[in-house]
């Protein structure tokens, strides 16, 4: 099996994956560590043909190790995909399509396509949160953002989604794990619905005093603590939302600083990218690449919950 921890630089990655054959072999090993499984019928009665393709004895399909992965039907060398995954996961603030095109010698259009395809892998990074969990919403896009107007100074007017997209986030204080998603509105039912889906019962929830969170006060599922931002009261004992505010800062810096503009259509993918980066900030490069690699070939070894928005 490949030791992914040795990939501590792009050079070490390219040195290892020095041929298309080596890339394919690694995909086979990681994907079918317990034996070949037919991607069409799930049968384990498969064998390798002399030309390198695989045959299922049950449904008689022939397939390659790339079927069902993000690399299926690609015309690009696999090592360029691996380099792209490595670069996107190791750049702390993300990487633009222009930069990626330059780094791996493809056109900007191809780099844009690769980045978007790779971003779909981040959506798998969802797990239940528990313990002390901060919840908050923010708004991205529109002229208001340029004016650096936040909901903290604008009050409820800042929650308008006419020109901006709403994003809801939850962070588990102990582990720093985050879940975040686009929201259609900031109504109480929307916010508490997401909290119920992502935060385990018995947790302590910390929010600001926005009316959308008021129903949590009577919740039997959670203990609810608030901080009043309007009165400049940002920290009252452990009643604060500083952790999630820190994540909003990172998300906005990534979107404004690297990507400059993000359409509402693709916003969720950028949120997922920022969440992945935040959740793996304590991991080393090799481990982050391994996580991306496993997802790219459809191996997900941790608990996932359904996306809601």
Our finding on whether 304 is near Zn ion (CB under 5 A) is: no
Q: Which is nearer to Zn ion, 59 or 201 (CB)?
A: 59
Q: How far is the CB of 40 from Zn ion (least distance, A)?
A: 5
Q: How far apart are CA 225 and CA 207, in angstroms?
A: 7
- Binders of Zn ion among residues 49 to 78 (CB under 5 A) are 56, 58-59, 61
Q: Which is nearer to Zn ion, 40 or 234 (CB)?
A: 40
C-alpha 222: how far from its chain's center?
26
Q: How far is the CB of 44 from Zn ion (least distance, A)?
A: 9
C-alpha 98: how far from its chain's center?
21
Question: Residue 178: enclosing H or E segment and its boundaries?
Answer: strand 178-183
Per-state percent for the chain, helix, strand, coil, to nearest 5: 45, 15, 40
- Which residue in 38, 87, 194, 254 binds Zn ion (CB under 5 A)? 38
Q: How far is the CB of 61 from Zn ion (least distance, A)?
A: 5
Our finding on whether 44 is near Zn ion (CB under 5 A) is: no
Q: How far is the CB of 23 from Zn ion (least distance, A)?
A: 24
Q: Which is nearer to Zn ion, 45 or 252 (CB)?
A: 45
Q: Which is nearer to Zn ion, 83 or 297 (CB)?
A: 297
Length of the chain: 309
Q: How far apart are CA 273 and CA 251, in angstroms?
A: 9
| Binding piece for Zn ion, criterion CB under 5 A, among 33-41, 134-142, 167-175, 237-245 | 33-41
Our finding on whether 41 is near Zn ion (CB under 5 A) is: yes
Q: Which is nearer to Zn ion, 59 or 264 (CB)?
A: 59
Q: Which is nearer to Zn ion, 13 or 38 (CB)?
A: 38
Torsion of CA 56, 59, 60, 66, to 10 degrees: -50
Q: How far is the CB of 66 from Zn ion (least distance, A)?
A: 16
* Best CA proximity match to 274, nearest among 247, 256, 245: 247
Question: Residue 143: enclosing H or E segment and its boundaries?
Answer: helix 142-146
Q: How far is the CB of 200 from Zn ion (least distance, A)?
A: 39
Tokens 């302590």 identify what position? 204
* 103-124 core/surface letters (b: 16 or more CB in 10 A; e: else): bbebeeebbbebbebbbebbbb
Q: Which is nearer to Zn ion, 61 or 280 (CB)?
A: 61
Angle, CA of 62, 67 and 68, to the nearest 5°: 135
- Which residue in 2, 12, 43, 145 binds Zn ion (CB under 5 A)? 43
Q: How far is the CB of 53 from Zn ion (least distance, A)?
A: 13
Q: Which is nearer to Zn ion, 40 or 113 (CB)?
A: 40
Q: How far is the CB of 38 from Zn ion (least distance, A)?
A: 3
Which residues have a Cβ under 8 Å from the Cβ of 83 and sit 6 or more positions away?
10, 13, 14, 103, 104
Question: Residue 249: enclosing H or E segment and its boundaries?
Answer: helix 242-254
Q: Return residues touching Zn ion (CB under 5 A).
A: 38, 40-41, 43, 56, 58-59, 61
């Amino acid at each position: 099996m490949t030791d992914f921890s040795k990939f501590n630089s792009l050079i070490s990655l390219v040195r290892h994956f020095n041929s298309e054959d080596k890339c394919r072999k690694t995909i086979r090993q990681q994907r079918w560590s317990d034996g070949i499984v037919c991607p069409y019928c799930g049968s384990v009665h498969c064998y390798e043909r002399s030309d390198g393709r695989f045959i299922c004895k049950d449904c008689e399909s022939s397939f390659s190790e790339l079927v069902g992965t993000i690399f299926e039907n690609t015309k690009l060398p696999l090592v360029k995909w691996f380099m792209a995954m490595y670069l996107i996961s190791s750049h702390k603030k993300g990487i633009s399509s222009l930069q990626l095109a330059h780094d791996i010698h493809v056109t900007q259009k191809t780099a844009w396509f690769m980045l978007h395809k790779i971003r779909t892998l981040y959506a798998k990074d969802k797990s239940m949160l528990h313990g002390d969990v901060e919840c908050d919403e923010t708004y991205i896009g529109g002229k208001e953002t340029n004016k650096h107007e936040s909901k903290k100074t604008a009050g409820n007017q800042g929650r308008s989604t006419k020109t901006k997209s709403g994003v809801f986030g939850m962070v588990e204080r102990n582990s720093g794990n985050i879940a975040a998603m686009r929201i259609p509105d900031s109504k109480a039912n929307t916010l508490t619905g997401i909290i119920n889906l992502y935060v385990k019962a018995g947790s302590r929830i910390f929010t600001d005093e926005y009316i959308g969170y008021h129903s949590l006060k009577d919740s039997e599922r959670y203990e609810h603590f608030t901080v009043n931002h309007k009165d400049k009261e940002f920290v009252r004992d452990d009643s604060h939302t500083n952790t999630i505010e820190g994540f909003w800062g990172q998300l906005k810096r990534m979107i404004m600083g690297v990507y400059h503009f993000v359409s509402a259509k693709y916003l969720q993918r950028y949120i997922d990218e920022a969440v992945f980066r935040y959740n793996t900030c304590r991991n080393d490069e090799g481990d982050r690449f391994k996580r991306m690699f496993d997802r790219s070939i459809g191996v997900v070894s941790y608990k996932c919950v359904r996306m809601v928005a």
